[in-house]
Amino acid sequence: MIDKYNYAFLDEGSKREIRRSVLKAVAIPGYQVPFGSRELPIGRGWGTGGIQLTLSLIGPEDTLKVIDQGSDESVNAVNIKKFVKMCTDVPCTTRTQEATIIQTRHRVPEIPLTNDQILVLQVPLPEPLRVVEPQESVTKKMHAESDYAPIWLQLYESLIKYGKVTISSEYPCLVEDRYIMNPSPIPKFDNPKLHQAECLYLFGAGREKKIYAIPPHTKVVSLAFDDVPFEKESFKGKKCRLCGSTDTYLDEIFDSATGERYYQCSDTSYCKEVRSK
């Protein structure tokens, strides 16, 4: 561990501010709490919101897992793990069941999380209304007044134009019948995992300076119309080429030389575990 920096890199004042914001976020599920996002030795947009949350949460008793697009071995995940380990000395794992804190980008692990685990999501664009309204002052007012007509209209327009809602990731959801929330760029496939979950979900957007949360056992409903229900991605007829799973989120891999398409589990740790059984 590098002891030239404070434990977990951030100074205690920064951690306290983030911790205060986290508690407010948990008390008001789905509401984006503003916080003073700190500079880190990593560019904004590379997971600084998630890292700041992880650094404010982590202690010597924790075990950390970091995934990026479901993979434990991608560049972003490996570097974040190295950085946190360098300034905390906590053990890192690739097994979902062993981790107390899981920092993730773009995926919720396939193995259901338990009540003693915290899932930290890196969020690039926390504001679900940004696609319909560019001004922060206006979106804040829209949230205050539960004025969500424009986002419903966006879904309706998509339905009229393409015959289905075409949003594949960052699919908006309604939290506790009050706040529309962007569940970060997780695929629609993972949205149902947020509803009445056992674990605590924390969302950190470093560049946009927002923190929000979904406590365990919270109502999270993906937006849908009465006559057009929410549908997650379907992988009917496809299976992972490595472990044979048919009920996981699959990545499509295209071999340009042979023109073949393969599918394999996006959650690499889950895939390995299935293969080892």
Give 125-169 as a DSSP string. ---TTTTT---HHHHHHHHHTT--HHHHHHHHHHHHHHSS----B
Assigned token pair, 262: 């393969």
**Rounded to the nearest whole angstrom, what is the least distance from the CB of residue 58 to another protein in the complex?**
8
Assigned token pair, 96: 């979902």
Task: Please name the residues in contact with 56: beta carbons below 8 A apart, sequence gap of 6 or more.
Answer: 8, 10, 14, 15, 18, 19, 22
**Rounded to the nearest whole angstrom, what is the least distance from the CB of residue 144 to another protein in the complex?**
4
Nearer to another protein, 203 or 270 (CB): 203
**Rounded to the nearest whole angstrom, what is the least distance from the CB of residue 218 to another protein in the complex?**
4
**Rounded to the nearest whole angstrom, what is the least distance from the CB of residue 91 to another protein in the complex?**
16
Residue positions counted in the chain:
277
Residue 240 a catalytic site member: yes
Residue 199 a catalytic site member: no
Q: Which residues bind another protein (CB under 8 A)?
A: 6-8, 12-13, 15-17, 19-29, 31, 33-34, 56-60, 115, 140-141, 143-145, 176, 178-179, 200, 213, 215-219
DSSP state of 196: T
Describe the chain by its helix, strand, coil percentages, rounded to 5.
30, 20, 50
Residue 49 a catalytic site member: no
Q: Determine which one of 50, 243, 244, 259 is catalytic.
A: 243
**Rounded to the nearest whole angstrom, what is the least distance from the CB of residue 156 to another protein in the complex?**
26
Nearer to another protein, 17 or 251 (CB): 17
Is residue 102 within 8 Å of 117, Cβ to Cβ? yes
Nearer to another protein, 6 or 168 (CB): 6
Burial (0-12, 13-18, 19+ Cβ within 10 Å), 90: buried
Alpha-carbon distance of 250 to 231, in angstroms, equals 16
Q: Which residues are designated catalytic?
A: 30, 240, 243, 265, 271
